[in-house]
Amino acid sequence: MSIPLSLDVKYLAPEVTPDEVYAWQSFVDFCHEKLHGHTGAGSDFLGWMDPSAMIPTEEVDRIAKTAQELRANSDILIVIGIGGSYLGARAVVEAIGGAERSRVLFAGQNISAEYHKELLECIENKRVAINMISKSGTTTEPAVAFRILRSWLEEKVGAEAASKLIVATTDASKGALRQLADEQNYTTFVVPDDVGGRFSVLSAVGLLPIAYAGIDIKKLVAAAQACSEACMETDLKKNPAYFYAVVRNMLYKKGKDIEVLASFEPRLHYIAEWWKQLYGESEAKENMGIFPAAVDFTSDLHSMGQLIQQGKRNMFETFVEITGGEPEVVIPKDPANLDGLNFLAGKTLFEVNHEAFRATALAHREGNMPNMSIKLGRLDAETMGAMLYFFEKACAMSGYLLHVNPFNQPGVEAYKKHMFALLGKPGFEKETKELRELISGTEGQEISFD
């Protein structure tokens, strides 16, 4: 089974060579056994490993049909969610949604008053549909945004019409959102029990907004499925996800504890945001883990480029490289040539951008920055489906190689408990009192400089 992506590893040496990667084969076999035998840590959350079982064809069809109906009845879909319930959809819509991406707006990923005020202004004269996504149904940020947007919509079109324009993606049976959706008769889709948020992009969580943006979700899922079959291989010479997972762990052991995901396509910005959550939340625990950072080149070459070229050598870089399929925008000849750019006349922007990539990868290698490239022939539903799955599978293997549970996120609870206590949520009375005392005890440390 072939995958529409490949790895260019020529700039990993001398820190890592393919032969050194292959020497990890028995460790990889051991972790593969745990993953596929469902005997490793977090094995209750492996539903994403088989995309076609997680999202059967009939469900893909139902999602596509619902998206089509929503598109016919609205100008804008507001997707409400946070973290894993939002980033995957945004990543794919931004990357391959083309002009349709302007029809999909996002809320619930922050609690900024200004953001929500501007959002309400922006949709004022639009026909709006809402996809509220929350597995737990109780996450504060999306729940607050939903309360605001739902009451706005109900006021606009009436409660009955609004209930036909709201789709809830949530747990099959429990949680506040499930209860509300059942009461209000919303169309619903299920977040599978055995799939964590950051691995859910290829379930209804990601697929409904993606389909609304006019993207072929059948192709996306089929490509992910094909990649999942290819990534069943344990052989490091055949499985790019496992190869990438080993490279990351080898570099981490050599003190490279920051990975920079870099691309020369601004429309991949949210892929990097999705990737940051996937790897940050999966691996960074028990005082371990690589810090996942991301840059958008060439713009960030004029800011972070200095740090990457000559800063502390505790990083490595992974490029997402697109090798074709881009629109042809030609640089014109200018008879005056005052800017001295006629040597570029007749070349396409894609050619120039690609040479910028090649120059950067080489320069960073010369600056002792090990780097590799994930090469995609073009950017479309097929390569996107394969890449999403590739990163997920690599993440699972990488976590096991690091001896952590890649499928939990105990650390994200800490701020929530404090926030609930400070906001006076019922049930948190003791913590509310303790935290208010603690915080007021530090007030004298605020320094003003007037």
Catalytic residue numbers read 281, 302, 416
Q: Does 47 sit near ligand PA5 (CB under 6 A)?
A: no
Whole-angstrom CA distances from 39 to 43, 150, 236, 286 are 6, 43, 21, 20
Q: Does 198 sit near ligand PA5 (CB under 6 A)?
A: yes
Contact indicator for 132, 80 with CB cutoff of 8 Å: yes
Q: Does 52 sit near ligand PA5 (CB under 6 A)?
A: no
Please identify, using beta-carbon distances, which residue of 364 and 393 lies nearer to ligand PA5: 393
Longest dimension (CA), the chain: 76
d(CA 100, CA 372) in angstroms, rounded, equals 32
Q: Does 136 sit near ligand PA5 (CB under 6 A)?
A: yes
d(CA 177, CA 169) in angstroms, rounded, equals 9
Give the interface segment with ligand PA5, choosing from 2-10, 113-121, 157-165, 193-201 (CB under 6 A). Answer: 193-201
What Rg, from alpha-carbon coordinates, does the chain have?
A: 23
Minimum distance from CB of 168 to ligand PA5 (Å)? 11
Please identify, using beta-carbon distances, which residue of 90 and 198 lies nearer to ligand PA5: 198
SS3 257: coil
Q: In what order do the strands lie in the sheet with 76-80?
A: 104-107, 76-80, 128-134, 166-170, 187-190
List the x/- string, 76-105, binding to ligand PA5 by CB under 6 A: ------xxxx--------------------
Q: Does 192 sit near ligand PA5 (CB under 6 A)?
A: no
Among 88, 97, 142, 292, contact with ligand PA5 (rule: CB under 6 A):
142
Q: Where are the beta strands (DSSP E) in 297-386?
A: 315-322, 371-376
Q: Does 139 sit near ligand PA5 (CB under 6 A)?
A: yes
Give the interface segment with ligand PA5, choosing from 89-97, 135-143, 215-223, 384-392 (CB under 6 A). Answer: 135-143
Please identify, using beta-carbon distances, which residue of 281 and 382 lies nearer to ligand PA5: 281
Among 90, 101, 135, 364, contact with ligand PA5 (rule: CB under 6 A):
135
d(CA 125, CA 137) in angstroms, rounded, equals 29
Please identify, using beta-carbon distances, which residue of 134 and 373 lies nearer to ligand PA5: 134
List the x/- string, 264-283, binding to ligand PA5 by CB under 6 A: -----------------x--
SS3 412: helix
SS3 328: coil
Q: Does 206 sit near ligand PA5 (CB under 6 A)?
A: no
Residues 6+ apart with CB under 8 A from 49: 35, 36, 228, 393, 396
Amino acid at 360: T
Among 47, 51, 97, 196, contact with ligand PA5 (rule: CB under 6 A):
196
- Give the residues across from 296 on adjacent strands: 263
Please identify, using beta-carbon distances, which residue of 86 and 319 lies nearer to ligand PA5: 86
Please identify, using beta-carbon distances, which residue of 47 and 142 lies nearer to ligand PA5: 142
Minimum distance from CB of 203 to ligand PA5 (Å)? 11
Residues 2-31 that bind ligand PA5 (CB under 6 A): none
Among 42, 51, 197, 240, contact with ligand PA5 (rule: CB under 6 A):
197
d(CA 361, CA 374) in angstroms, rounded, equals 12
Q: Does 131 sit near ligand PA5 (CB under 6 A)?
A: no
Minimum distance from CB of 130 to ligand PA5 (Å)? 15
Contact indicator for 119, 236 with CB cutoff of 8 Å: no
Q: Does 134 sit near ligand PA5 (CB under 6 A)?
A: yes
Please name which of 77, 144, 128 lies closest in space to residue 104, comparing C-alpha atoms.
77
d(CA 191, CA 423) in angstroms, rounded, equals 29
β-pair type (187-190, 166-170): parallel
d(CA 349, CA 326) in angstroms, rounded, equals 9
Residues touching ligand PA5, count (CB under 6 A): 14
Minimum distance from CB of 205 to ligand PA5 (Å)? 8
Please identify, using beta-carbon distances, which residue of 409 and 432 lies nearer to ligand PA5: 409
Please identify, using beta-carbon distances, which residue of 52 and 136 lies nearer to ligand PA5: 136
* Ramachandran assignment for 265, one of left (phi > 0), alpha (psi -120 to 50 degrees), beta (any other): beta
Residues making contact with ligand PA5 (CB under 6 A): 82-85, 134-136, 139, 142, 196-198, 281, 409
